[in-house]
Amino acid sequence: MNTQRALLIAGLSSIALATPAMAQDGSAFTGPRIEGIIGYDSVRPGSTTDIDNADDIDQSIDDVAYGVGVGYDFAVGGAVLGLEGEWIESEAKTNYNTTNLTNFGVSNIDAGRDLYVGVRAGVPVTPSTLLYAKGGYTNARMNVLATDNTTDVGTNVDLDGWRLGAGVEQQFGQNFFGKVEYRYSNYGKGQFTAPSGAASDRFDVDLDRHQVMLGLGYRF
């Protein structure tokens, strides 16, 4: 995982340090925006909790994710800065199996909603193309099903973490735009909520999330 993080940080740095000569007028990318988002979602235990020597156990959960995003961008010189938020739902989950709870390294998992709020900074490389980097806070919910082969117990765990990403946005006409982006999230804190509503103390976790998302939106 360290190599992936290093490559992502290097990519974000190259965008942030893009030369002024490369930049266009950023005014075409300013104002409020709303977008629909869909793409690939993959979650797995991080490097401190995964089972590195168990090649026969697939610890990752992978499937489609979809949702909505909103944001507001403004031009600063030749750059574009913005605030943004997202609500994503994921279909990623393990297959329920009462005889093998080692899958995913914890138990049976059904990924739920994924909230994100953060900032982005971009450089228009053409009058209609924006190259950007993003980062911020993410909160994910995982639905956990545990069993002793007699009694099933369902709980939710809310996970707090951070996200970094990079992407490209392309304008279509005056108001519509499309984008593609990759983002990496790491969750380091968790809290269980029982069916009764009682919440546990916060505890340490290590989960990695990789997403490749497509977006289609409208800028007002």
155-168 pLDDT per residue, tens: 888 999 999 999 99
Cα dihedral sign for 23, 24, 29, 30?
Answer: positive
Range with lowest mean pLDDT among 19-28, 60-69, 157-166: 19-28
Q: What angle do CA 209, 217, 168 make, to 5 degrees?
A: 55
Outline where DSSP puts E strands in 21-151: 31-45, 61-76, 79-90, 108-126, 129-147
Res 94: pLDDT: 80
Distance CA(25)–CA(2), nearest Å, equals: 36
For residues 18 and 167, the model is more confident at 167
Q: What CATH number is given for 2-219 in this structure? A: 2.40.160.20
Give 184's pLDDT tier (boundaries 50, 70, 90): very high
- Quick one: what percent of the chain has pLDDT higher than 70? 74
Provide the pLDDT for residue 144: 82
